[in-house]
Amino acid sequence: MLWGSRFKEKLNQTALEFSSSLPFDINLFEEDILVNKAHTEMLADVGILSQEDADKIVKGLNSIQSEFDEGKWKPETEKYEDVHSAIEARLYELIGDVAGKLHTGKSRNDQVATDLRLWIKKSVQQIILSINNFQIVLINTAEDNLDTIMPGYTHLQRAQPVSLAFHLLAYVEMLERDKERFDFVLEQVDVSTLGAGSIAGSTLPIDPEFTSWKLGFKKYFSNAMDAVSDRDFALDFLNACTIGQIHLSRLSEELILWSTSEWNFIKIGDKYSTGSSLMPQKKNPDIPELIRGKTGKVLGNYINLASVLKALPLSYNRDLQEDKEPVFDSFKTYINSLDILKEVISTIDINKERFIKELRGDFILSTDLTDWLVLQGIPFRDAHGIVGLVVKYAESAGKNFTNITLDELKKINPVFHEEAIEYLMIDESLKRKKSKGSPNPEMLQSQINNWKSMLFEFIVT
């Protein structure tokens, strides 16, 4: 225990186990060692600790890290409140009473906040790298499918023809925004809180700037009360994980639909599919389904921490112990989802000719025909009405855009001539796109080249 001398009785064992955060804050083991070492070196630098005592403490902390890494020592939940008390207790066992000087000028409040900030900094960098790798897989798949035509949807109704490349690049854009959100988290979390103490700093001449620099933070806190109670950075992290996971869930939903017999657009590799215990013919897209399902848990983690924070008075309250579990869980779920969905995408077999014949017999080029009428000088609203009449006539006559004749079009409106028929051919529809951000294959190739250049530069740097 890091406290207890003013109490007549020891903490009830059930209460200890109930209140112990060790099962999850063990994730902060490495960060806690780093913070303790930086604090010890600062105490020696300002003359509060002798160099001899500081060296003993640092050597002991290094030994504890080695024991933990090699599996020779693992703190037990029934003995310790948290990872901080476990490490300090082990330090006593290794170096004796000198270990009692480690906690000079700091509290668990400022230490745990600093630990968590260090952990999130490290984790954000891992996530950004995983997002980057996922983008590369999507871009490579997109480049192979610049001319793979598929229906684009609004309201889950066929709207206009697009390409699979265009569709996948939409997710690349989403993922880039996810990276920007994590960049913001990195900026917000890059503040050392070590030296804030429990609430109001210390009467000892400690140096928060020293420990901030030693631990690699860009800056250190300005207000001790805010420093120990601030968990905005954790909420920002969970928000970024939540939006990122939602994006993966949306893509997973589409992979699930595309892999059905009704769509027959993709086949997911056997390595990332499962079967049925009853129906031997089944091949199920379980990985995308699990990603879709786990999204609820990640969203719940955000609500969890937001609910903890919503009514907390300043400064530290024990409720804040509940900040770590949702953070650790969302990180694990999100980065695992990123990495495995990347592999799923890399194994899919795409039926590139799936929609060509079907869309030739569809009315999906109605907007293209409307645009052609506009180019003939007809106001858009009138052109919209004319094409609506064409569709109505074709449906009533049992026809579609592939077999409606020029004479029939002219009967609806004499403005139609030979060129109009070309606008009803699906094969060239994407190449006719003129506006930026459209599925024109040349424009998409240019985008892909830019993405490759940017993402490759990210990997190199």
Burial 3-17 (b: 16+ CB within 10 A, else e): eeeeeeeeeeeeebe
Question: Catalytic: 384?
Answer: no
Question: Structural domain boundaries of the chain?
Answer: 13-104, 109-149+163-354, 366-424
The catalytically annotated residue of 155, 261, 277, 396 is 155
Domain 13-104 belongs in CATH node 1.10.275.10:
yes
pLDDT string in tens for the chain (461-residue length): 454 555 556 666 666 566 678 888 999 999 999 999 999 999 999 999 999 999 999 999 999 999 999 999 999 887 888 999 999 999 999 999 999 999 999 999 999 999 999 999 999 999 999 999 999 999 999 999 999 999 999 999 999 999 999 999 999 999 999 999 999 999 999 999 999 999 999 999 999 999 999 999 999 999 999 999 999 999 999 999 999 999 999 999 999 999 999 999 999 999 998 888 888 888 899 999 999 999 999 999 999 999 999 999 999 998 999 999 999 999 999 999 999 999 999 999 999 999 998 888 789 999 999 999 999 999 999 999 999 999 999 999 999 888 999 999 999 999 999 999 988 888 889 999 999 999 999 999 999 999 999 998 766 55
- Please tell me which residue in 276, 307, 446, 453 is annotated as part of the active site: 276
Tell me if residue 155 is catalytic.
yes
Alpha-carbon distance of 76 to 81, in angstroms, equals: 9
Q: In this structure, are residues 231 and 323 in contact, taking their beta carbons and an 8 Å threshold?
A: yes
Are 100 and 92 a contacting pair, CB within 8 Å?
yes
13-104 and 109-149+163-354, same CATH topology: no
CA-CA distance, 144 to 165, in Å (whole number)? 8
Answer yes or no: are the C-beta atoms of 312 and 103 closer than 8 Å.
no
The CATH code of the domain at 366-424 is 1.10.40.30
DSSP code, position 267? E
Q: Phi/psi of residue 391, each to 5°?
A: -65, -45
Give dist(CA 340, CA 124) in Å, integer.
18
Task: Kindly report the CATH class assigned to 109-149+163-354.
Answer: mainly alpha
The neighbour count for residue 412, using CB atoms within 10 Å, is 16
Q: Which two tokens stand for residue 206?
A: 């400690």
Q: Which residue has the tokens 């997710």?
A: 171
